[in-house]
């Protein structure tokens, strides 16, 4: 009897409690009715929420009766908030569809804090290239869309070559912004350079690109120095179907692409993609100047065996598995093969069959993230055109046959000692680049929140295994370097008052440089329809393996991992870690119902800036590398060495302003403006890069214009879309190794112009400053929901403008793209 009484009491209690609570459930889809798996549905005031399952459905149980604002969000879609009533003992239906984000204010981004956040809540300046912009850009090279972003220094080096830099310190070997794709580093192993066109991802598989300005090393590690570029690909569950695309344009450009994604069942989905692009670079030769050892005069020669045709082929596949409705395990494999011309600080490279292979396994759930991947980089026939041409000329001018000169030009240069063909010696001046490098990465992360308190903590491991087979690195047996980082980030958000506080820190341990601490802090305040912020962040740039162990052109270029001694006793210190401390204030939000602004002002303090190549032997030859005589490091060395140095201190500062005005639902205007300045202490001899006793402006190359702006118009209505962008870049000097693009100037105050415009400067031709004004435009039409035709025009009015050193004038480029999408599986 007693047990029955207790049972009835428990049942009664359950009934009473059930009457005081209710539930919410529903279906979340996109505008076409396709279920969105992984969308977030949350009630912030209760700190309760759920993620949609494979079918786009969700349920939130045990909600106290009352009236609530429920928020629905998904990456790349508008955030939706609805007011609902939870009744006692009942389940309220909240089903809705989300539209692709049409306004900047509604964007949800992922990169800044490695979790979904509304863009107005992120304490950083973020540019987003959306899926819609990518889909309506009829060119195979979506890198061109970076030209339309605020705070980004965009350069175009040819038909294929595009690149970006953020907040100064650009060069032809620029590694000062970190690039990632689906949480994989998109950088070459030995050089640290962005992969760019070497990427294994095709255009139609890219969901969005998020560009963060300023240091972001706390969560992403060393070398997220000036900024971070994150590419996010499509999930097969929300992009099911098949896409075929073909494109063509002038410069013999032709592209073909196919992508297929399919949901197998509630556990498995997959996607595959393939892309091939080919064309011909602009007609341009980077003249090679060879110095006559007897007369001291330079004579120009065309680059040997210049091949302007480029090809790029890439493919990949992904298998997605959902162990539970709220988690996903993804396996990815991708491969690319590229042949093209690459611009470097020591001349141009003829890149031949450079292959990149990636294999990744990643797990994502509400609170846990784990990621591991392996990268292979391989090329056997890539060579430096500048060095090979010099080698070839040395043999031809001393009586060797053309065939022998060509064969030996990959590895040797003839040094004539006197009259007669045999009176000389071959010097090791290798022009061939072999790469057989690998990289292993792993990361684990935990994140959670308790009311207003949010925690992110994780650890990363990276091991670089560079191997050039002795062609461009001092790497007998290969070079292995590892680094480990642990990080944590704490956020405290007071929703009622609008205040938010963020504090983060990262400790990295490098095999060569020990421990480095990277802190981060931010305060945000929501005011009406916007958010003010003040942030501090530190970034570090660890010297690349090439910086430390480079051995190019028979030791003419050497890495500075050990330091040098000159014949006059001068000591050159080995490279140290570069640091930057960045302070920023900003605001983003609505100024009116139609006007959105994102603006910032920043001040950066840089120390130990890693220079581009510097000739340290102008006044005295090199005798030792570390404690080893230079002749033992490089047999036959003359003591002439170009290497990398740390400079002293430099301050940089600037302002970025981005305005988006929505005339109506179909018509949007954009205005972006950036100012950049610097302060270099000309009396600080730590900034005397070439050791000539005078600090010159060019020795610390900022390579960024003081002012730039762009104005754009977007139109999208019905079956037609179009955009036009005007971009102005103030003329500016650009110095990178042997390359000069600068106005005539006397740099050391001796009354002689060391740099002359439209003339040879040492071993390169100086065409003058970079920059100018160009207009780009694109438009397209959907004949049906599945079939579209688009056209893109770069440099619409054929303005004569040069954007990068050792690169041609960028004339008008026209490309057409026909795209057909079909979904056999659409419900």
Q: Is the pLDDT of residue 451 over 50?
A: yes
Q: Is the pLDDT of residue 402 over 90?
A: yes
In this structure, the answer to whether residues 87 and 124 fall within a common structural domain is no
pLDDT for the residue 294? 72
Residue tagged 């500062």 (tokens): 653
pLDDT for the residue 418? 66
Tell me the C-alpha distance between 590 and 659, whole Å.
10
What is the average per-residue pLDDT within 237-259?
Answer: 94
Q: Band of the pLDDT at 11, cuts 50, 70, 90?
A: very low
Using CA atoms, how far residue 713 sits from 590, 671, 776, in Å, is 19, 9, 11
Strands (E), 430-541: 432-450, 453-466, 479-494, 499-510, 514-527, 530-541
Tell me the C-alpha distance between 800 and 770, whole Å.
11
What is the average per-residue pLDDT within 647-671?
Answer: 90
Structure token digits, residue 700: 């610390």
Q: Band of the pLDDT at 100, cuts 50, 70, 90?
A: low
User: Domain holding 61: CATH number?
Assistant: 2.60.40.1120
Asked if residue 405 belongs to a domain, the reply is: no
In this structure, the answer to whether residues 91 and 122 fall within a common structural domain is no
Q: Which of 123, 124, 126, 158 is nearest to 144 (CA)?
A: 158
Asked if residue 638 belongs to a domain, the reply is: no
In this structure, the answer to whether residues 91 and 133 fall within a common structural domain is no
- Domain boundary among the residues 75, 100, 125 is at 100
In this structure, the answer to whether residues 482 and 589 fall within a common structural domain is yes
Q: Is the pLDDT of residue 233 over 60?
A: yes
Q: How high is the mean pLDDT of the chain?
A: 87
pLDDT for the residue 593? 81
pLDDT for the residue 326? 79
Tell me the C-alpha distance between 517 and 540, whole Å.
9
Phi-psi region of 183 (alpha: psi -120 to 50; beta: other; left: phi over 0): left
Asked if residue 291 belongs to a domain, the reply is: yes
pLDDT digits (tens, 9 = 90+) for 310-367: 999 999 999 999 998 778 999 999 999 999 999 988 889 999 999 999 999 999 988 8
Q: Is the pLDDT of residue 690 over 90?
A: no
Asked if residue 8 belongs to a domain, the reply is: no
Asked if residue 654 belongs to a domain, the reply is: yes
pLDDT for the residue 98? 82
Asked if residue 430 belongs to a domain, the reply is: yes
Structure token digits, residue 313: 């082929």
- What pairs with residue 454 in β-bridges? 449, 491
What is the Cβ-side half-sphere exposure of residue 696, based on CA atoms within 13 angstroms?
Answer: 19
**Cβ contacts of 78 within 8 Å, gap of 6 or more:** 98, 99, 100, 101, 102, 103, 106
In this structure, the answer to whether residues 87 and 157 fall within a common structural domain is no
Q: Band of the pLDDT at 15, cuts 50, 70, 90?
A: very low
Query: b/e per residue, 111-133, with b = 16+ CB within 10 A?
Result: bbbbbebebbbbbbbbbbbbbbb
In this structure, the answer to whether residues 94 and 125 fall within a common structural domain is no
pLDDT digits (tens, 9 = 90+) for 279-305: 999 999 899 998 877 777 889 999 999
The number of folded domains in the chain is 2
Query: 3-state class of 157 per DSSP?
Result: coil
Asked if residue 692 belongs to a domain, the reply is: yes
pLDDT for the residue 110? 55
In this structure, the answer to whether residues 461 and 592 fall within a common structural domain is yes
In this structure, the answer to whether residues 255 and 195 fall within a common structural domain is yes
Asked if residue 201 belongs to a domain, the reply is: yes
In this structure, the answer to whether residues 749 and 816 fall within a common structural domain is yes
What is the average per-residue pLDDT within 603-626?
Answer: 87
User: Domain holding 361: CATH number?
Assistant: 2.40.170.20
Q: Band of the pLDDT at 57, cuts 50, 70, 90?
A: confident
pLDDT for the residue 217? 67
- Domain boundary among the residues 100, 130, 145 is at 100
pLDDT for the residue 498? 87
- Domain boundary among the residues 67, 100, 133 is at 100
Tell me the percentage of the chain whose pLDDT exceeds 70: 92
Q: What is the DSSP string of 40-62?
A: EEEEGGGTEEEE--TTSEEEEEE
pLDDT for the residue 396? 93
- Report residue 796: phi and psi, to 5°: -55, -40
In this structure, the answer to whether residues 81 and 133 fall within a common structural domain is no
What is the average per-residue pLDDT within 539-564?
Answer: 89
pLDDT digits (tens, 9 = 90+) for 375-393: 999 999 999 999 999 999 9
In this structure, the answer to whether residues 304 and 332 fall within a common structural domain is yes
What is the average per-residue pLDDT within 21-26?
Answer: 90
pLDDT digits (tens, 9 = 90+) for 201-225: 999 999 889 888 887 767 887 777 7
- Which domain covers residue 77, as residue numbers? 20-100
pTM: 0.87
pLDDT digits (tens, 9 = 90+) for 744-791: 988 777 788 889 999 998 888 999 999 999 999 999 999 998 999 999
Tell me the percentage of the chain whose pLDDT exceeds 90: 50
Q: Count the Cβ atoms, other than its own, within 10 Å of residue 99.
A: 11
Tell me the C-alpha distance between 374 and 357, whole Å.
8
Q: Count the Cβ atoms, other than its own, within 10 Å of residue 718.
A: 8
pLDDT for the residue 16? 41
- Report residue 444: phi and psi, to 5°: -135, 140
Q: Band of the pLDDT at 617, cuts 50, 70, 90?
A: confident
In this structure, the answer to whether residues 154 and 184 fall within a common structural domain is yes
């Amino acid at each position: 009897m007693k047990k029955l009484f207790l049972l009835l009491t428990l049942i009664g209690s359950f009934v009473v409690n059930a009457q005081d609570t209710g539930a919410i459930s529903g279906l979340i889809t996109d505008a076409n009715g396709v279920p969105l798996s992984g969308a977030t549905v949350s009630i912030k005031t209760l700190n309760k929420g759920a993620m949609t399952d494979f079918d786009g459905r969700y349920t939130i149980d045990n909600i106290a009766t009352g009236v609530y604002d429920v928020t629905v969000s998904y990456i790349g879609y508008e955030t939706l908030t609805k007011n609902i009533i939870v009744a006692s003992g009942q389940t309220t239906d909240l089903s809705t569809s989300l539209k692709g984000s049409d306004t900047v204010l509604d964007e949800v981004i992922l990169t800044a804090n490695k979790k979904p956040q509304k863009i107005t809540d992120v304490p950083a300046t973020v540019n987003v290239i959306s899926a819609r912009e990518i889909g309506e850009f009829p060119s195979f090279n979506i890198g061109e869309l970076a030209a339309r972003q605020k705070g980004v220094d965009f350069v175009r080096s040819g038909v294929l070559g595009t690149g970006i830099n953020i907040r100064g310190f650009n060069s032809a070997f620029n590694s000062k912004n970190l690039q990632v794709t689906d949480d994989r580093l998109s950088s070459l192993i030995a050089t640290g350079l962005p992969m760019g066109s070497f990427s294994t991802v095709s255009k139609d598989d890219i969901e969005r690109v998020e560009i963060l300005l300023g240091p972001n090393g706390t969560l992403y590690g060393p070398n997220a120095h000036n900024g971070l570029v994150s590419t996010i690909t499509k999930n097969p569950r929300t992009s099911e179907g098949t896409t075929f695309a073909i494109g063509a344009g002038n410069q013999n450009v032709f592209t073909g692409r196919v992508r297929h994604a399919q949901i197998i069942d509630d556990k498995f989905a997959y996607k595959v993609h393939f892309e091939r692009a080919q064309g011909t670079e602009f007609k341009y030769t980077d003249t090679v100047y060879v110095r006559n050892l007897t007369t001291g005069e330079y004579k120009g020669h065309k680059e040997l065996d210049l091949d302007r045709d480029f090809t790029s082929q890439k493919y990949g596949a992904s298998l997605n598995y959902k162990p539970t409705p709220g988690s996903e395990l993804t396996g990815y494999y991708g491969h690319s093969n590229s042949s093209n011309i690459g611009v470097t600080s020591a001349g141009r490279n003829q890149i031949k069959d450079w292959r990149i292979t990636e294999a990744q396994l990643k797990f994502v759930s509400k609170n846990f993230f784990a990621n591991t991947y392996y990268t292979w980089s391989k090329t056997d026939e890539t060579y430096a055109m500048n060095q090979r041409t010099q080698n070839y000329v040395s043999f031809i001018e001393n009586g060797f046959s053309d065939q022998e000169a060509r064969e030996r030009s990959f590895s040797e240069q003839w040094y004539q000692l006197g009259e007669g063909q045999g009176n000389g010696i071959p010097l090791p001046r290798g022009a061939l680049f072999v790469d057989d490098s690998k990289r292993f990465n792993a990361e684990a992360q935990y994140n959670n929140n308790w009311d207003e308190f949010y925690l992110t903590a994780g650890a990363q491991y990276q091991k670089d295994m560079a191997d050039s087979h002795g062609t461009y690195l001092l790497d007998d047996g290969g070079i292995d370097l590892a680094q480990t980082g642990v990080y944590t980030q704490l956020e405290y958000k007071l929703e009622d008052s609008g205040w938010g506080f963020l504090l983060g820190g990262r400790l990295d341990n490098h095999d060569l440089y020990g421990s480095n601490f990277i802190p981060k802090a931010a305060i945000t305040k929501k005011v009406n329809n916007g958010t003010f912020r003040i942030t501090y962040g530190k970034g570090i740039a660890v010297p690349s393996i090439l910086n430390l162990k480079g051995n190019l052109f028979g030791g003419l270029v050497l890495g500075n991992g050990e330091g040098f001694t000159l014949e006059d006793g001068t000591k050159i210190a080995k490279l140290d870690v570069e640091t930057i401390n960045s302070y920023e204030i900003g605001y983003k939000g609505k100024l009116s119902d139609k006007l959105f602004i994102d603006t910032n002002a920043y001040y950066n303090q840089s120390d130990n800036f890693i220079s581009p190549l510097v000739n340290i032997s102008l006044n005295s030859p090199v005798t030792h590398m570390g404690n080893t005589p230079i002749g033992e490091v490089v047999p036959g060395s003359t003591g002439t060495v170009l290497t990398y140095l740390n400079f002293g201190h430099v301050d940089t500062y600037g302002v970025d302003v981005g305005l988006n005005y929505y005339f109506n639902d179909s018509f949007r205007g954009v205005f972006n403006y950036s100012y950049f300045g610097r302060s270099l202490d000309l009396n600080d001899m730590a900034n005397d890069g070439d050791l000539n006793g005078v600090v010159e402006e060019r020795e610390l190359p900022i390579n960024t214009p003081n002012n730039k702006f762009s104005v754009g118009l977007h139109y999208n209505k019905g079956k037609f879309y179009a955009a036009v962008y005007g971009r102005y870049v103030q003329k500016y000097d650009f110095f990178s190794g042997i390359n000069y693009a600068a106005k005539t100037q006397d740099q050391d105050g001796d009354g002689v112009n060391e740099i002359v415009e439209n003339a040879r400067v040492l071993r390169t031709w100086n065409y003058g400053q970079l920059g100018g004004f160009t207009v780009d435009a694109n438009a397209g039409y959907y004949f049906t929901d599945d079939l579209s035709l688009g056209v893109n025009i770069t440099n619409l009015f054929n303005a004569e403008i040069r954007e990068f050193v050792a690169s041609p004038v960028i004339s008008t480029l026209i490309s057409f793209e026909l795209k057909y999408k079909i979904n056999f599986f659409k419900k």
